[in-house]
Amino acid sequence: MRLLIALLVALIAVPALAQEQKLTANEVVELAITEAIRPGFARFAEEAGSLKLNVEALGATPSEATLETARNQFKSAVTAWSRIELYRIGPLMAENRSDAILFWPDRKGIALKQVQGALAEADQTAASAETLAGKSVAMQGLGALEFLLFGADSETLAAGADFRCKYAAAIAELISGRADEMSAEWADPAGFSKRLLEPSASDPDYRSTREVLEALTGLLAHGTEAIRDQRLLPFLGRDGAAPKPKSALFWRSGMTVPSISANFEGLKALLRDSRIAEATSPDQQWVGQSAGFEFGNAERAEKLVTKPVEQAVGDPKQKKALDYMVIVTQSLDTILGENLAAALGLSVGFSSLDGD
């Protein structure tokens, strides 16, 4: 009888113990900052710094080799940026940094027009970081730099195209500076992180830990929405429209799909490293598992796209993989925006991203 009673007590205690051991909201917030966000911004700062050095080296000693090095480093910087660009909170959204680093979506081709105009006129105010910073953000970021390094006449960089090199160096300097600023602000324990870790009734945005948790969950839900609406559908075509690969982000550098892959990786890292799904009750743990499964599906689909986007959309197998990535984002919308939010007792709200 004593053994039976002990077993019954143990069975009753297990769910209670699991409930007690689930992560607290404060632990989730701290993990999100220390394990996902800070490292991500530090990596971007590192890659952006290398981009600045390599673009400067291209201008100092132009050659096919230095051009190739600068192009490769651009791709590394884009990957690092794409992992954190959907962490649209705090330092990234201050001082218009997000648009200054990447002006997108650009439905009217503003950046291309302005960059080509600067090249045609050899506008010297674009050749200095100090004066370029006061111009349109469409001229200052990764999209503009991609055209300079990969667009029409970019091969002249290897032969010493002086103005184009200086303009590219000015952009790289601005990107590196902003990346350093964001990384430093996230690393500062008395900076923005403190607002998230110590919410206050006097804070206009984060009055409670619940509101902070809602903001983090919103990054996940709105992030998958952005991948679909701003990265995939504009070039895949909506409602049966024909694909338009040259409307894809980073098509000139061949970074369209790699950047989307990094977008997914960044969201997956935030979900995994914050362990936010572990803050749910034991009977809701399936939510995190389901999200992980869908991120795995996205990764498998990405690996099937092996050609540049212009060729990929014409290959039935690769086009199917790209279309499937859209389906994955729709599933993740439900899992992260509805199921996870509900399991945590949160209200994620509407996305403020353009194009929603």
Q: How many C-alpha atoms does 22 have within 13 Å on its Cβ side?
A: 18
pLDDT at residue 218, as a whole number:
96
For residue 107, the model assigns a pLDDT of: 87
Q: Would 311 be classed as within a structural domain?
A: yes
Positions of the chain with pLDDT under 50: 1-20, 352-356
Where is the domain boundary, 170, 197, 224? 197
Q: Are residues 111 and 89 in the same domain?
A: yes
Indicate if 217 and 251 belong to the same structural domain.
yes
105 cis-preceded (ω within 30 degrees of 0): yes
Tokens 């007690």 identify what position? 20
CA distances from 341 to 87, 90, 284, 336, 346 (A): 17, 21, 11, 7, 5
Q: Are residues 184 and 39 in the same domain?
A: yes
Evaluate whether residue 348 is within a structural domain.
Answer: no
Judge if 44 and 101 occupy the same domain. yes
Give the pLDDT confidence of 7-22 residue by residue, as tens digits.
344 444 344 433 445 7
CA–chain centroid gap for 86, Å, is 4
Residue type, 76: S
Q: Is residue 17 part of a domain?
A: no
For tokens 């050899």, the residue is 122
Which residue in the block uniquely carries the two structure tokens 């394990």? 35
Same domain, 236 and 331: yes
Let me know whether 105 and 248 are in one domain: no
Tokens of 332: 């993740």
Distance, C-alpha 188 to centroid of its chain: 21
What pLDDT is recorded for position 19?
A: 43
CATH number at residue 72: 1.20.1420.20
> For position 9, what pLDDT does the model report?
41
Which residues neighbour 319 within 8 Å (Cβ) at sequence distance 6 or greater? Answer: 236, 243, 312, 313
Smallest CA-to-CA distance from 214 within 352, 43, 27, 345 is with: 345
55 and 188 inside one domain: yes
Residue keyed to tokens 């300079």: 148
The Cα 334–Cα 304 span in angstroms is: 25
Whether 215 and 170 map to the same domain: the answer is no
Residue 158 shares a structural domain with residue 215:
no
Q: How far apart are CA 79 and CA 152, in angstroms?
A: 23
Please check whether residue 271 lies inside any domain of the structure: yes
pLDDT at 3: 38
pLDDT of residue 21: 58
238 and 302 together in one domain? yes
Report the distance separating Cα 89 and Cα 216, nearest Å: 9
In a domain, 18, yes or no: no
- Closest by CA to 224, choosing from 278, 295, 285, is 295
Question: Residue 305's domain is classified under what CATH number?
Answer: 1.20.120
* Domain termination site, one of 197, 227, 247: 197
pLDDT in tens, 272-317: 999 999 999 999 999 999 999 999 999 999 999 999 999 999 999 9
pLDDT given at position 239: 83
Q: Indicate if 67 and 145 belong to the same structural domain.
A: yes
In a domain, 186, yes or no: yes
Beta-carbon contacts of residue 350 (< 8 Å; ≥ 6 apart): 356
- Is 189 inside any structural domain? yes
Query: How many domains, the chain?
Result: 2
Q: How many CB atoms lie within 10 A of CB 126?
A: 26
Domain boundary among 165, 197, 229: 197
If asked whether residues 190 and 49 sit together in one domain, one would say: yes
- Residue numbers of the domain that contains 295: 209-343
- Closest alpha carbon to 153 in 257, 57, 252: 252
Q: Is residue 305 part of a domain?
A: yes
- What stretch of H or E contains 219? helix 209-226
